[in-house]
Structure 1
């Protein structure tokens, strides 16, 4: 076992390896690491080694500390305190480090890197939600066998939401729903009648009359959705993150396409009430995503997370409402939220927790409570390559859906197992992509997914 023993002094350095080291998340972690004396990157793995070196130098790492290594001998010859930069994830088994941060976003490569780390006694902080959606259950079970930690990373919404949910449970609160905002707000300017989402703008003057929920919440939400229909508000990344949260909490989606209401932050307790109380939920215990509607001068939700709870003592919650907390107009529901996710700026918390406290985000052992699958958006012909890498991790031609494992077909293909494969047969419009549709699935991903399905079967029997 090459990793740090969990009883190590909390003052000892924490050495980490980072895959996907040239990516946007990696930059935020590497930048923050410079501010934390105990955290030391030991090996940075990315196909773009020159770009990784340039990034580190831009952030302030000393050029003489960075060494590009392509063989085990070069890695072994590295002087203490130097940082190895490599494009070969196979070398991760050789280098000395305590915890792997997996951030490639590649289902196959990320699974292989995490397996290597766990089997050689290292903890794993999983940032690649694509990996977690297919292999998370198997990797968590493997980590349990090897006595190390497997955890989503703080700073991304899954870990933040899992922790926020468990805090609510610890307080004895009755949780109705949990979720997050979409990545990009809908910013409406009443003076121009236009709404902006990141770098896109459309005319939506009717939103001026829809800034309040009114008495019929579903009707107002439907009208808002029509007003912004020209903007693509859903993203595969959202579904993926909610699937990871489901596996760690046991809560599942209310509808397979998620609700995605267009809502203002102060409305969330009304929006996520049960339908019988005027809201949109068919039942309690769900995960969901909403699109933030705000005015230009209002603060963003910043991709933050929320928990909807039933209120208890009415006097207590009236007092809290007077202090500015978000409660429903009925007084029966309240929204507790964190309006931020800081990416790698927060992830050091997960690294230190794993090494110092042997602790993962949340207390539940991950289990397959949801399947992130895909439906064909149009007819897909045999020979079609299911490419990935477009807007927010979308798979070309396939719409993401979240399914209940107990109700899903046994041979349904996880979205990120299907990604990068070639279809061996035609898939009709609206049909789920099945494992049998894939001509060349990755064997490692098939193995870990088979493990997850067996766990789901055991849970349901």
Structure 2
């Protein structure tokens, strides 16, 4: 609360919060649409490998040609937008407060976050793949530098973190938290060739809409869900399912009944977990009142701490509960992606608070073979033909030496891997690179505590 007032005050004072956007794709364009109408916010610059794409994003979202600046200095003086293909130059621009990475590339996201932290800029990380690959280390570096490293509001992880924080601040026990999606078990083998059938989208419509089949396939095959739940686990301490996400079919009215511990009739190993619910029954029928586009938290009233009174209140105020009356759920049916991103920017820049930030290395996402893979094959990464991402607990991931999904692109197999098997570091030939070193540094920093099952330093 009060972010709008704080922004309005900055507007009156002539001190707008200056923002640099890296990546002018869909998420970035959605942010630009709202930034244009947000008092107290100044998009100082946009960095994209294709400056023409950045200019097109501005046009599509209502910006005029005379909104463009000739340089960063001109942008500051005139309150216009400078466009560049050099992200490092944007990060270094005088007067910049907050850097948004919306590239979608884990390697680029990590590189930009490191540069921004070194330059004393707050970071809003839209690229959740980068956050899952090395977010706990980036958060530690940001804290040491006195800046904020934040998840992106509007995307599901930050929205779920807000719900978890609300529930815990109210004194409730968080039983489960997560999101909805459209999923069937067979979708783990989905490829860019089958993605439109699995999404029930006509291929010609997808082509006309400029939809990238590999990117969309990462939503279908379960990889994106695993990545987002790993991010939530690392930001809240909620546990990942030991054997990967279950994707139980579940509508909003059944959340407190299905997402409770197995010992009490639900599907969870224990209380306090992340999970994704499917909008499809196992036979493909639609779930009644599904949560395909939304997020949820299941909370409980602790009987040992006045829970019987809270349970009566649940009933008195019309909440849907499980049969015991102890568990209930709150949900949000939609999320607005980049249209809501300004919340993170304002929170980081004005409050110095993230809208979600890793507090430890609790969960990881392994690269798992979609089919039998032979020696010499090259992995094609998230949403491709060879691998999908499976959620794991970080101690299990480290103990098994699995290859993170964020590094499973363009690397060659040195061993055969059977379908459904997690690929290990030892199974691939992977070149040294800055992103590999960052990941290894994170494993070294957090590994012993993660394997021991305790919270890593945050």
| TM-score calculated relative to the size of structure 1 | 0.80
Correspondences of 1:32-181 after superposition (within 5 Å): 32-66=34-68, 75=72, 80-96=78-94, 97-181=96-180
2:399 is the alignment partner of 1:401: no
Q: In the aligned structure 2, how far is the partner of 1:133 from the partner of 1:424? A: 25
* Structure-2 separation of matches of 1:244 and 1:296: 28
1:259 match: secondary structure: coil
Does 1:453 find its partner at 2:443? yes
Q: How many Å apart are 1:102 and its aligned residue? A: 0.7
Asked whether the equivalents of residues 417 and 442 of structure 1 are also in contact (C-alpha less than 8 Å), the reply is no
Structure 2 stretches lacking a partner, 5+ long: 1-5, 185-196, 203-218, 453-458
The verdict on how the C-alpha distance between 1:346 and 1:264 changes in structure 2, with shifts beyond 3 A counting, is same
Deviation at residue 293 of structure 1 after TM alignment: 5.3
Indicate whether 1:419 and 2:409 are aligned.
yes
2:346 alignment partner, SS class: helix
Which segments of 5 or more consecutive residues in structure 1 lack a partner in the other structure? 1-5, 69-73, 186-195, 202-231
More helix by share: 2
Greater Cα offset, 309-318 or 369-378:
309-318
How many Å separate the matches in 1 of 2:182 and 2:54? 26
Contact 2:280 2:287 (8 Å CA) reproduced: no
What is the SS of the residue equivalent to 1:421?
strand
Q: Is the 8 A contact 1:33 1:348 kept in 2?
A: yes
**Alignment partner of 1:346 out of 336, 340, 350:** 340
Q: Quote the offset at 1:48 in angstroms.
A: 2.4
Judging changes above 3 Å, is the alpha-carbon distance between structure 1 residues 324 and 301 closer, same or farther for their aligned structure 2 residues?
Answer: farther
* Alignment check: 8 A CA contact 2:181 2:276 kept: yes
Aligned 8 A contact 2:370 2:419 in 1: yes
Distance (Å, rounded) in 2 between the aligned partners of 1:199 and 1:119: 45
Q: Which residue of 2 aligns with 1:16?
A: 19
Distance across 1 between alignment mates of 2:266 and 2:424: 34
Q: 1:262 to 1:381 in 2, by over 3 A?
A: same
Q: 1:410 to 1:199 in 2, by over 3 A?
A: closer
CA 1:306–1:105: 2 relative to 1, 3 Å: same
2:257 and 2:174 map into 1 onto residues whose CA distance is: 14
Task: Tell me, in whole angstroms, the C-alpha distance in 2 between the residues paired with 1:67 and 1:173.
Answer: 50
1:440 to 420, 430, 446: 430
2:29 counterpart residue number: 27
In 1: Cα distance, 2:279 partner to 2:315 partner: 21
- 1:277 equivalent to 2:280? Answer no
Deviation at 1:299, TM superposition (A): 6.4
Q: CA deviation at 1:384?
A: 2.4
Deviation at 1:13, TM superposition (A): 0.4
Compared CA separation, residues 365 and 157, structure 1 to 2 (3 A): closer
Are 1:376 and 2:369 matched, yes or no? yes
Q: How many Å separate the matches in 2 of 1:77 and 1:276?
A: 64
Task: Give distance in 1, aligned partners of 2:370 and 2:100.
Answer: 34
**CA–CA distance in 2 between the matches of 1:183 and 1:26?**
24
Match runs of 1:241-390 below 5 Å? 241-292=228-279, 301=291, 303-312=293-302, 313-314=307-308, 316-321=310-315, 323-362=317-356, 366-388=359-381
For the structure 1 residues 183 and 360, does the alpha-carbon distance in structure 2 shift closer, same or farther, using more than 3 Å as the test?
farther
Cα distance in 2 between the residues matched to 1:49 and 1:100: 18
Instruction: Please report how far the alpha carbon of residue 17 of structure 1 lies from its aligned counterpart in structure 2 after TM superposition.
Output: 0.9
Aligned to 1:199: 200
CA distance in 1, matches of 2:183, 2:408: 27
Deviation, 1:124, is 0.3
Partner Cα distance (1:40, 1:296) in 2: 43
Deviations along 1:159-182, whole A, 9 cap, x unmatched?
111121111111111121111111
Q: So what's the TM-score if we normalise by structure 2?
A: 0.80
State the 1:257 CA deviation: 2.5
Partner SS, residue 121 of structure 1 = coil
Write out per-residue CA displacement over residues 358-401 of structure 1, whole angstroms, 9 at most, x where no aligned residue: 11124x7521101111221222233323224xxxx524311311
1:310-329 deviations in whole A, cap 9, x for unaligned?
23544543443454422112
Distance change (3 Å), C-alpha of 1:134 and 1:252: same
Partner SS for 2:256 = helix
Q: Using the TM superposition, give the Cα deviation of residue 442 of structure 1 relative to its aligned residue in structure 2, in angstroms.
A: 5.5
- SS of 1:56's equivalent in the other structure is helix
Q: Deviations over 1:275-316 (max 9, x none)?
A: 222111121121100013599998663522211122354454
